[in-house]
Amino acid sequence: MTPPPLAFEAPTYWRNRNVFVTGCTGVLGSWLVIRLVELGANVVGLVRDEVPRSNLWRHQDGRRITIVRGSLTDYELMLRSLNEYEIDTIFHTAAQTIVPIANNSPLSTFDSNIRGTWMLLEAARVTAGVRASVVASSDKAYGESEDLPYREDHRLEGRTPYDVSKVCTDLLAQTYYGHYRLPVAIVRCGNIYGGGDLNWNRLIPGTIRACHFGDLVRIRSDGSPVRDYIYVRDVVSAYLAIAWGLDRPDLHGQAFNVSNEAPMAVREVAERICVRMGRPFEPEILDQAHTEIAEQALDSRKIRGLLGWSGRWSFDQALDETIVWYREFLASA
């Protein structure tokens, strides 16, 4: 017998809710949209740039949402969207997420990640009916630390451009709760992976593509950095749990780490992909990531204890699903 869905993924909870998702052509946003449509929500998605091969457009449920075209930094557009579609719940996943881009071009990263966040939060503040806003921060906001795993009360000490943009995103959400009592919560994840990530300079999609075409696998770092890797479908369920939890006023303004608590070194991840795809592991080590944090790990006891969430996919199970997605995608290119 199939077990009943958890409360935060029950169709009776999400059916006919009006939900606004930013970043819906990205890996997290696209899977979040697809899941919300499956659960019966009325989804409105913000799209800045047309990405015709994105996961959102490749999936039939992605074509069933209302699209708002424009920039997160356009306050009047945010205000119109939230009011016109009578938005109940906001999932803010849009961001410039590529660390080398942030290092080379910090202004565009600061503009989208920081200014875009305060524009959306301000629009939410003055819009009647918004009962929950879930904002994507990152484990990068914690910065470098010898005290691992990070807990939610750890200081935010990011120093590089991308990390600082996430510190600011995080603090803006905290401010809008602390000063205005906006019903908002913050999500801090590690490295999200899964089908739909078309940023090929990232480790997992880049390694899968290289293996698929028989190309040389390149590792941007020296292979030693340790990261939390979490499957996108686990992250989606965590976002749903946190939005559901915002029905409780005592959770307003809270931050939640989301992790399966099994960090791995970059080299190990790349090797496991090669093994599963039947390719020899003979990488080119570029050793170019000198400013990045050496080791990160998250403690997720809080979300498990307060909201009953836990990850459902092992790394190998999720990696198999991810490889299947990319094989189909690359075969159709």
Domain housing 158:
12-193+229-262+292-312
Number of domains in the chain: 1
In a domain, 280, yes or no: no
In a domain, 200, yes or no: no
Q: Which of 13, 142, 150, 162 is catalytic?
A: 162
Q: Number of C-alpha atoms within 13 angstroms, CB side, residue 121?
A: 30
In a domain, 208, yes or no: no
In a domain, 283, yes or no: no
pLDDT of residue 147: 93
In a domain, 36, yes or no: yes
Nearest CA to 167 among 74, 233, 89, 102?
102
Separation in Å, CA 24 to CA 34, 125, 222, 228, 258: 10, 22, 32, 23, 20
In a domain, 87, yes or no: yes
Q: Could you identify the residue written with the tokens 């994840």?
A: 189
Instruction: For residue 162, indicate whether it is catalytic.
Output: yes
CATH number for the domain including 171?
3.40.50.720
Convert the pLDDT of each residue in 114-129 to its tens digit: 999 999 999 999 999 9
In a domain, 318, yes or no: no
In a domain, 206, yes or no: no
Convert the pLDDT of each residue in 40-52 to its tens digit: 999 999 998 888 8
Q: How confident is the model at residue 4 (pLDDT cuts 50, 70, 90)?
A: low
